[in-house]
Amino acid sequence: MAKKNRCVTAQVEFLEGFCVEVIETVQEMQQRSEALRSAGQTISLVPTMGFLHEGHLELMRVGKRHSDKLIISIFVNPVQFGPGEDLDQYPRDKEGDLKKARDVGVDIVFMPSVGEMYQEGYQTKVQVENLPQHLCGLSRPGHFDGVTTVVAKLFNITRPHMAVFGQKDYQQLAVISRMVMDLNMDIKILGVPTVREPDSLAMSSRNNYLGAEERKSALSLRKSMDLAGELFQGGEKKAKVIRDAVQSLILSHPFTAIDYIALCDPVTLDDVEVLGDKNLLALAVRVGKTRLIDNCLLQNDSD
């Protein structure tokens, strides 16, 4: 029988008798990962901010399929929230998250406190230079520095062979992939397509903020992307025409305000005026007080 690992901080037991291993300190997590690596086990990491939904769980299933051990992190990272953003209201559900993690087959949940992640005197950040100067980076200055910094730390703490991210946060995936390449991190990055509610709203922990009427208006994001796809497939190549159509459709729904509608190159994220073979349509829309993002690729059917 396998020896119990000495590094385990807590085993959270549930009535049904299953348990999931929870680690709260950096040192214990590093020792645990090192032990797994020494035993020849491969590790995937799924970083999350918790309040888990089916989108997160899909990332975990992918991680599980690709490695021997699956670690997830649950950490609401204060450094990636700007002043006036929803750090304090961000939804949390520790018990529910641990149950979902257990059910999907997570091996270890890394759940540090803010003080554990950012010790006194902390003063280093990881910054990708250009990719954050687009899309969400423009309305959330410093956000991606916070993301790359915490993800680099999580990589150093959990030592994964691969890490799984959602394409819903397209720019985040692009920025992290760039960081991994630029800093020669020996970690494979996997991107998973956006998981949607049955009515096609992209799943997000922030959907929880939406009132019933706002929830209906939130569907305008997906509808406008479908419209953009139809226009593109119909031969429209002018970014302005597509952007205007997307904007009109969204603004015809109550409670909506546009943060950005971008048609850009999917690699550099530079805006395009004339669409090429492969283009990213990225949206950020406020519905009431809730800021939602979504994206899709506009590309020829044959690609």
Residues found near ligand AMP in the complex (CB under 6 A):
48-49, 55-56, 58-59, 165-166, 168-169, 192, 194-195, 202-205
Residues forming a β-bridge with 261: 283
Please report how close the Cβ of residue 57 comes to ligand AMP at its closest, in angstroms.
9
- CB nearer to ligand AMP: give 110 or 165: 165
69 vs 143 by CB, closer to ligand AMP: 143
**Eight-state DSSP code of residue 71:** E
**Residue facing ligand AMP at closest CB distance:** 166
User: Count of CB atoms within 10 A of residue 119's CB?
Assistant: 8
Tell the smallest beta-carbon distance from residue 167 to ligand AMP (Å). 7
How far is 48 from 194, CA to CA, in rounded Å? Answer: 15
CA angle 236, 174, 258 (to 5 degrees): 55
Integer CA distances (angstroms), 162 to 257, 261, 280, 294, in order:
37, 32, 25, 24
Nearer to ligand AMP, 53 or 161 (CB): 53
**Nearest-approach distance from CB 10 to ligand AMP, in angstroms:** 22
DSSP 271: B
- Dihedral of CA 23/25/30/31: which sign? negative
Which residues in 75-217 belong to E strands, given as ranges?
108-110, 162-166, 188-192
Q: Smaller CB distance to ligand AMP: residue 101 or 231?
A: 101
Q: How far is the CB of 48 from ligand AMP (least distance, A)?
A: 4
66 included as an active-site residue = no
58 vs 275 by CB, closer to ligand AMP: 58
| Minimum distance of ligand AMP from residue 196's CB (angstroms) | 7
Contact 264, 283 (CB under 8 A): no
Catalytic residue positions, numbered: 56
